[in-house]
Structure 1
Amino acid sequence: MLEELLIHKPDDPIEFMINHLKQNNDDAPRICVLGPPASGKTTVAMWLCKHFNAIRVSHETLLFKEVLMQTEEAKAYKERNQKIPNALWANLIQERLSNVDCIKQGWILEGFPENQEQAWMLQSSGIFPRHVVMLYAPDTVLIERSGGKRLDPLTQEVFHTTFDWPSDPLVQQRLVEPEDLSEQEVSKKLLEYHRNFPEIFHIYQKVLKSINADQPSVDVLSQVLAFVQTRHRSAAPFTPRILFFGPPGSGKSLQAALIAQKYDVVNICCGQLLKEAVADNTKLGELVKPYIDSGCPVPDNLVLKLLTERLNALDCLTNGWVLSGFPRDVKQGEQLQKAQMNPNRVFFFNLPYESIMERLSQRRTDPVTGESIKEGHFKVNALQDLTGKDDMTTALFPSPAVLSGRGRRK
């Protein structure tokens, strides 16, 4: 929405944004499929349209399937065997993509833009793709492919006599050879494409992926789909809301403390939060205290109330938070989601069962601070290295700095 606002600069920004929210579908695909002749652009574009239920826009659809304001003018150039001007192509594309079906369902732009001027004109009209697929293959392969290309005049699907021949006899009978299939014509188009390709690559390099078209179509389509389903990470600032999962002994608490210290976010451990509520004698703490004293699990509704209250505190809302110890199951995760406490980063710590048992068997807890530390960290030699003291008292009762991990030898 901000991108559209900066491009169009409307007199009434509020009304413009309201209309944008009513009309635009920001999740709809906006994809360009580019490449030299016979690289498979049409096959890829039509397959993406079927997969996403999007609208395919190409030379053929703009000239022969759409009734646009400047269609007749473009056809006139075509009939005179003259090159259609870039500005005319840009106007046709802009008019087509502004229709409701393209806005709602998204669009797959096949073969556009063809050069730098077209790309600039589309950008000035507010048309910028989220993903650009650039197909490539050796020229010898492309020239060979062009000779076997066949077109279905009803569906506009492209087939090949060697690589992709239809199994339906009716389809086979109605296939026709596309125009300009001579080797000389294909070589001329390839030369023009190679001349324009570097400029287009430079414009779309941040959203572009080159895919080798000289491989089975199934592999090409799988690579294209994997790319267009990725979301580009925004550089806009955001409040971190981090969730750590993992079995006991996986290091969630330690990593949460390190993350909180490095990025200045609030470290929230669910177990520690319950103990603090009991120690502070809050209303929720009084309800939680009997469960903690008896060693029984605290009901989810009480934990969620306490957690919601803490996550809605000013420091969490402004600095962000890292949460460990909750949720522990699917039901708790659904409750957290209903409370609108959705994380934007989730990490799962995984390690073998043997490592978990080894870590837990060597874990010791400081009764004063409640911090846990591995038994191996209490060795006298290590503590001498850390503190510079040869005192047995120091070895048995390390300082809080040692317990917290600061200065620990790697």
Structure 2
Amino acid sequence: MLAQQRLGAARQPAAFRAGKVYARPVRRTAVKARATLKVMISGAPAAGKGTQCAKIIEKYGLVHISVGDILRDEVKNGTAAGKKAKDFMDRGVLVPDEVVVEMVKSRLAQDDVKQNGWLLDGYPRSASQAEAIEKEGIRPDIFLLIQVPDELLVERVVGRRLDPVTGAIYHLKYNPPPADIVGRLVQRSDDTEEKCRVRVATHNANVDAVVGYYTDCKVDIDGTQSMAEVFEAIATALDAAVASKDPLEQFCKDSPDADECRVYDD
């Protein structure tokens, strides 16, 4: 018995043997909140931006913000900014940047955005818009630019067909429709080569000026790949942005207890 006591004492830390108070390492679950991302995404018509936005929202839980949607909501709800916008829209002129920026600021200040982060879709579209939101301190953690050659964009647009019965969209080359419905498919009026080239040219004329404001956080994405490959590239970029904002995020990924991230206090 005495030998066992001596053996137990020998195994105790020196602090115990010296009569000092010793606290064993405490294991506790880390209180960890995922870093909220601020993301801008841009791409020409038919670059696949809509598809990728849906995937981003699903995986990262960001609040999708489209300026077109904001405009419609503000006008519908009769807000002060909405009334200003409606006045311009009723006169058939563009809504001034300062009015749109006011709406964007208001939306970004809402609780769901603060809690989850945001994905600003297709905005800013011009240098003046970028400058306006820059003055308001609205900056992304990452600016995603989906790059697709003009000729491929035109091919994607011109080959699109809409099923008026189901609302499904097919592509004559990349997503052929079933043979039994081909006869009822229609081409949307803005899916012609002429109109597509105008839209692409407008995008190209503005995007370089916009990107100039975000060179420090811009990530080019090759949009000629499959949808899955494009999203894989986007996810890699977003994961890196999360890790840079929240080092614990990367620690938890690398930890053997990744499903229940823990830290240790000595």
- Judge same fold: TM > 0.5, yes or no: yes
For the pair 1:30 / 2:38, whether they are aligned, the reply is: yes
| Aligned match for 2:97, one of 86, 97, 116 | 86
| Aligned match for 1:127, one of 135, 138, 148 | 138
Cα deviation, residue 205, structure 1: 1.1
| Aligned match for 1:56, one of 52, 60, 64 | 64
Cα deviation, residue 51, structure 1: 1.3
Q: Cα 1:83–1:179, aligned 2, differ >3 Å: closer, same or farther?
A: farther
TM value normalised by structure 2: 0.65
For the pair 1:203 / 2:213, whether they are aligned, the reply is: yes
Aligned AA (2:71): L
Cα deviation, residue 129, structure 1: 0.5
Q: Cα 1:53–1:179, aligned 2, differ >3 Å: closer, same or farther?
A: farther
How far apart, in 1, do the equivalents of 2:241 and 2:50 lie? 24
Cα deviation, residue 177, structure 1: 6.7
| Aligned match for 2:263, one of 337, 353, 358 | 337
2:48 paired residue number:
40
Q: Could you say what the CA RMSD is over the residues aligned between the two structures, in angstroms?
A: 3.5
Instruction: Spell out, residue by residue over 1:12-41, the C-alpha distance to the aligned partner (whole angstroms, 9 max, x if none).
Output: xxxxxxxxxxxxx88112111101111111
Instruction: Spell out, residue by residue over 1:143-199, the C-alpha distance to the aligned partner (whole angstroms, 9 max, x if none).
Output: 2222345789xxxx99543445899xxxxxxx9976633333322222222222222
Cα deviation, residue 93, structure 1: 1.3
* Structure 1 residue runs without a partner (length 5+): 1-24, 168-174, 235-329, 342-410
| Aligned match for 2:241, one of 208, 211, 231 | 231
SS at match of 2:263: helix
Aligned AA (1:137): V
SS at match of 1:126: coil
How far apart, in 2, do the equivalents of 1:122 and 1:166 lie? 43
How far apart, in 2, do the equivalents of 1:58 and 1:151 lie? 23
Trace 1:8-407 onto structure 2 (pairs within 5 A).
27-65=35-73, 67=77, 68-75=79-86, 77-78=88-89, 81-149=92-160, 159-162=169-172, 163=174, 180-231=190-241, 337-339=263-265
**Number of equivalences:** 208
Q: Cα 1:135–1:75, aligned 2, differ >3 Å: closer, same or farther?
A: farther
Q: Conserved in 1, the CA contact under 8 Å of 2:64 and 2:121?
A: yes
Aligned AA (1:84): V
SS at match of 1:181: coil
Q: Cα 1:184–1:78, aligned 2, differ >3 Å: closer, same or farther?
A: farther
The one of the two structures with greater contact order (alpha-carbon pairs below 8 A, sep at least 6) is 2
Q: Cα 1:33–1:158, aligned 2, differ >3 Å: closer, same or farther?
A: farther
How far apart, in 1, do the equivalents of 2:168 and 2:85 lie? 24
Q: Conserved in 2, the CA contact under 8 Å of 1:62 and 1:71?
A: no
How far apart, in 1, do the equivalents of 2:168 and 2:52 lie? 10
How far apart, in 2, do the equivalents of 1:27 and 1:73 lie? 35
How far apart, in 1, do the equivalents of 2:189 and 2:91 lie? 15
Q: Conserved in 2, the CA contact under 8 Å of 1:134 and 1:210?
A: yes
How far apart, in 2, do the equivalents of 1:91 and 1:160 lie? 38
Aligned AA (2:234): V
How far apart, in 2, do the equivalents of 1:183 and 1:127 lie? 36
How far apart, in 2, do the equivalents of 1:129 and 1:52 lie? 15
Cα deviation, residue 137, structure 1: 1.0
2:20 paired residue number:
none
Q: Cα 1:133–1:150, aligned 2, differ >3 Å: closer, same or farther?
A: farther
Q: Cα 1:218–1:65, aligned 2, differ >3 Å: closer, same or farther?
A: farther
Cα deviation, residue 77, structure 1: 4.2
When Rg is computed on C-alpha atoms for both structures, the one with the higher figure is: 1
* Structure 2 residue runs without a partner (length 5+): 1-32, 179-184, 245-255
Cα deviation, residue 72, structure 1: 4.5
1:262 paired residue number:
none
Instruction: Spell out, residue by residue over 1:336-375, the C-alpha distance to the aligned partner (whole angstroms, 9 max, x if none).
Output: 9321x6xxxxxxxxxxxxxxxxxxxxxxxxxxxxxxxxxx
Q: Conserved in 2, the CA contact under 8 Å of 1:31 and 1:130?
A: yes
Cα deviation, residue 42, structure 1: 1.5
Q: Cα 1:74–1:159, aligned 2, differ >3 Å: closer, same or farther?
A: farther
Aligned AA (2:51): T
